[in-house]
Amino acid sequence: MHSLVKIIMGGLLIALTACNPTSSANAPVTTQAGAEVVQNPGDVVARVNDKDITRAEFEAELARRRRDETITDMVALQQVVLDALIEQRLVTDAAVAMGINVTDDEVTAEIQALQQALAQTSDWDSYLNMNGYTPDEMVAAQRNVLLTQRVQEVLFADLTGSVNQVHARHIVVRTETDAVNLLNQLQQGADFAQLASEFSIDLTTRDRGGDLGWFTSDELLDKRLADVAFSLQPGAIAGPISTRIGYHIIQTLEIAERPVEPERMALLMRNIYMTWLETQFQNATIERYLQ
């Protein structure tokens, strides 16, 4: 839990892919319908559920990110930084609602562990200066790290032991008409794996007859497919189901309680977290004033 990378990133363990709607950098935007949008208060770059994100906070984090000499698009970087600050505020609010707390002693212990880890290579003041932190900013960053970790621990608690999973296969085609035609063939007794190998546009599963393997309700790119797969009895077929990549026909093969293999765990945890974070965005009132 004492990773230097997590500290250098300012405690923002949230993925930088924006979950919030695209907005203009020059106009205040509210993400909850009906909420009042107020005039730009000047020293505030955003409000999250009536809590300010100040320009000072924003400029400090922006300066830390600009130390990366590979960054060339400053406008995009500004939006990334603002998104990350908004996300961290949402996580902090959620932690309070979940009864999660981080004590001053716990933050101190984490910082002391980091100082000990650095003792062989750098003194503490040089480290803070090199990464653009004041002592107080480092304390706040570490508190954010611990809060985010504990929120994630709650979200991932059900992943220990056996988890409800489904084994399914699918065929993906470009048009609804094609999907209906294939569905009719399946209903007349055609072989699912043969049709998948011949017609599916999903290159990752086509050569194995459309087999998706075992997955939980949070692992597929489009959760609607998982919802349908879990709703079917083994052997049943459903479709067409429209997604971003085409029209799917899906067949459930098995449903069982199974442990999640280690190689799948990281993606599953990311999907659970990002789905949860998107819900936080949808339920929040967010006003942007970045100039």
pLDDT in tens, 44-102: 999 999 999 999 999 999 999 888 767 778 888 999 999 999 999 999 999 999 999 99
What pLDDT score does 69 carry?
Answer: 63
Domain assignment present for 265: no
Q: What is the CA radius of gyration of the chain?
A: 24
**Same-domain status, 104 and 244:** no
> What's the number of domains the chain is made of?
2
- Report the C-alpha gap between 149 and 11 in whole angstroms: 10
User: Is 279 inside a domain boundary?
Assistant: yes
Could you tell me the residue range of the domain that residue 236 belongs to?
162-260
**Residue 247 counted as domain residue:** yes
State residue 275's pLDDT score. 87
| Cα 225 to Cα 86: distance, rounded to the nearest angstrom | 30
CB 1 within 8 A of CB 150: no
Region of 68 on the Ramachandran plot (φ > 0 left; ψ -120 to 50 alpha; else beta):
beta
Does residue 266 fall inside a structural domain?
no
What digits encode the pLDDT tens for the residues 247-279?
Answer: 999 999 999 999 988 888 888 899 889 989 999
Structure confidence by residue, pLDDT tens digits, 187-236: 999 999 999 999 999 999 999 999 999 998 888 878 889 999 999 999 99
pLDDT given at position 38: 46
Asked if residue 119 and residue 16 are part of one domain, the reply reads yes
**Same domain membership, residue 115 and residue 60:** yes
pLDDT value for 26:
40
- On the question of pLDDT at 34 being above 80, the answer is no
Query: Model confidence over 99-133: pLDDT tens digits?
Result: 999 999 999 999 999 998 888 777 888 889 988 99
> Over the chain, what is the mean pLDDT?
84
Question: Is 268 domain-assigned?
Answer: no
Cα atoms found within 13 Å of the Cα of residue 143, Cβ hemisphere only: 15
pLDDT band at 14 (very low <50, low <70, confident <90, very high): very low
The structure's pTM equals 0.69
| Residue 80 amino acid letter | V
- Is the same domain home to 96 and 143? yes
